[in-house]
Amino acid sequence: MTRYLTRDSAAVAVMGPLALAAVLLPWRGSWSNTNVALLLVVAVVAIACLGSRLAGALAAVSAAVWFDFFFTVPYGRLTISRSAA
């Protein structure tokens, strides 16, 4: 295991949550945001276990950005228009 963030682990940390979010996108209307968030957390934990702490932190930030971009209203923007409640 490496202690430092390499270019490959950084790419996996950013692209892994993006790929998972893209796979989950067709079910955006039928799944709750909680289920999507939990699947993204599983991806972040897997990246952190296989990589380094920095890769896990980068994956967490990436997952948060892609969750906001793909699964919160308005879709396709990095803003949230209203609360879910």
Give me the pLDDT at residue 2, please.
54
CB 59 within 8 A of CB 48: yes
CA nearest to 72, candidates 21, 12, 16, 20: 21
CA dist 18 → 1, 4, 13, 81, 82 (Å): 24, 22, 9, 22, 24
Whole-model pTM: value is 0.85
CA dist 49 → 1, 60, 75 (Å): 10, 13, 31
- Tens digit of each residue's pLDDT, the chain (85 residues): 556 778 888 899 999 999 999 999 999 999 999 999 999 999 999 999 988 889 999 999 999 999 999 998 888 888 877 766 6
Query: 30 Cβ partners below 8 Å, 6+ apart?
Result: none
